[in-house]
Amino acid sequence: MPSAEQGLGQGGVKNNGYALLFQVDPEGKTFIQEYELLFKHTLDVNNDFAAVYDYYWWAGQFTLTSRVYQPDGQGGKQLNPALFLSPCDLDLTAERKTKNLADPQIWVTKTLDCEG
Amino acid sequence: MSTVTCSVTQNTPDTPPVTIGSVYHGTDAPYYVYDYDKIYGQGTTMKYIDEKSFVVIAQQGNVIYQETGVNGAIQQTGPPKSYKVPLLGSNAKCHDAITFGYKESYMVIGCIASDNVLKTQTLFLQVLDRTDFTKVSDVQSFPLTTDFTDFRVTTKLALRAFTIFDAQQNPVDYLMVYDQRRQH
């Protein structure tokens, strides 16, 4: 039985919320691999999962939000209190890193550890 | 069938509204039935794009773009605009379609192919121009393997686009890909 952490990158936790972020080239024709976003929550890996919930502009800053979900076993879900990332400074102009598709490298993981 | 009229009125706090123009006057219908699942098979979904258009996402990478009038009737004449995203994998399927910042007519289609044995997925992104629904560029594929990312799509891939401004105040468009999971 693999552990919950097996195969996951640094800071990765099974069932945590992930997203991929691509910069669009200036002509809008192609996507440049940019970030793997990890929404780092404290989870019961056997029950909970996190997912991107919404995004918005907050105080002039692009803000992503994620939430933790607890499946109710009946196809529905219950919500934990929302975990917002508004304190996070997701500086999209910093740490920008392009990927050479001919020479793949590990995607940049931007850990958003901003529970509150 | 009834008639609906949408008009523009103008008034001040002390005067009643006065009609100054008509936006639409014509027949109304309670709803339109498109029956796309009968045409394109079960599992076909629709995605609202804006007040005048929607996309039908069918099997095997087929996507159909439709424009409508204000009453929901199909606006364009002739066959629907369609495109088949060249996907690899027997269980590949497109999930979402959105317009994005660079050009009003540009649209990106997001698709996923899953290898249930290797536990890997491949993300496909296809940019189309909805004026004629032809490709703007070749489809791009991104392997979602453990070597690259822990991101996986468990239920439905979703796309969001947004624009930020860099230090020189130049607009930079981004596309976010995430798993919609079960929150909706």
Tokens of B149: 């990312």
Burial string for A34-50 (b: 16+ CB within 10 Å, else e) reads bbbbbbbbebeeeebbb
3-state secondary structure of B130: coil
Res B120: pLDDT: 85
Residue B154 has, within 13 A of its CA and on its CB side, a CA count of: 16
CA B148 to chain centre: 28
Tell me which chain A residue has its CA closest to the CA of residue B127. A29
Between A24, A64, A107, which is nearest B149 by CB?
A: A107
Res A60: pLDDT: 55
User: Is the predicted pLDDT of residue B169 greater than 80, yes or no?
Assistant: no
CB contacts of B150 in chain A (<8 Å) are 7-9, 12, 18, 36, 38
Q: Do B174 and A92 touch (CB under 8 A)?
A: yes
Averaged pLDDT of chain B: 83
Mean per-residue pLDDT, B113-127: 89
Q: Chain A: nearest CA to B166, how far in angstroms?
A: 6
pLDDT digits (tens, 9 = 90+) for B31-61: 666 777 777 887 788 898 988 888 999 888 8
Task: Check: CB of residue B128 under 8 Å from CB of residue B94.
Answer: no
Query: Please, what sign has the CA dihedral across residues A89, A93, A95, A96?
Result: positive
pTM: 0.73
Q: Which residues contact B84 (CB under 8 A, 6 or more apart)?
A: B60, B61, B62, B63
3-state secondary structure of B37: helix
Interstrand relation of A17-24 and B171-179 (parallel, antiparallel or unpaired) = antiparallel
User: Is the predicted pLDDT of residue B3 greater than 90, yes or no?
Assistant: no
Cross-strand bridge partners of residue B46: B56
CB contacts of A77 in chain B (<8 Å) are 182-183
User: Is the predicted pLDDT of residue A98 greater than 70, yes or no?
Assistant: no
What do you get for the CA distance between the two ends of chain B, in Å? 34
Cross-strand bridge partners of residue A49: A69
CB contacts of A17 in chain B (<8 Å) are 178
Integer Cα distance of B161 and B97 in angstroms: 11
Tokens of B3: 């008639």
CA quadruple B178, A15, A17, A21: dihedral, nearest 10: -50
B-contacting residues of A 33-92, CB under 8 Å? 33-34, 36-38, 49, 51-53, 55, 62, 64, 67, 69, 71, 77, 92
CB contacts of A33 in chain B (<8 Å) are 142
Please report, for residues B1, B21, B25, B50, the alpha-carbon distance to residue B6 in angstroms, rounded to integers and kept in the order given: 16, 9, 6, 19
User: Is the predicted pLDDT of residue A26 greater than 90, yes or no?
Assistant: no
pLDDT digits (tens, 9 = 90+) for A68-78: 676 665 544 54
Residue A62: closest CA among A83, A92, A36? A92
User: Is the predicted pLDDT of residue B100 greater than 90, yes or no?
Assistant: no
Between A22, A36, A51, which is nearest B149 by CB?
A: A36
Averaged pLDDT of chain A: 57
Between A9, A67, A104, which is nearest B183 by CB?
A: A67
Q: What angle do CA A92, A98, A103 make, to 5 degrees?
A: 155
Counting every residue, how long is chain B? 184
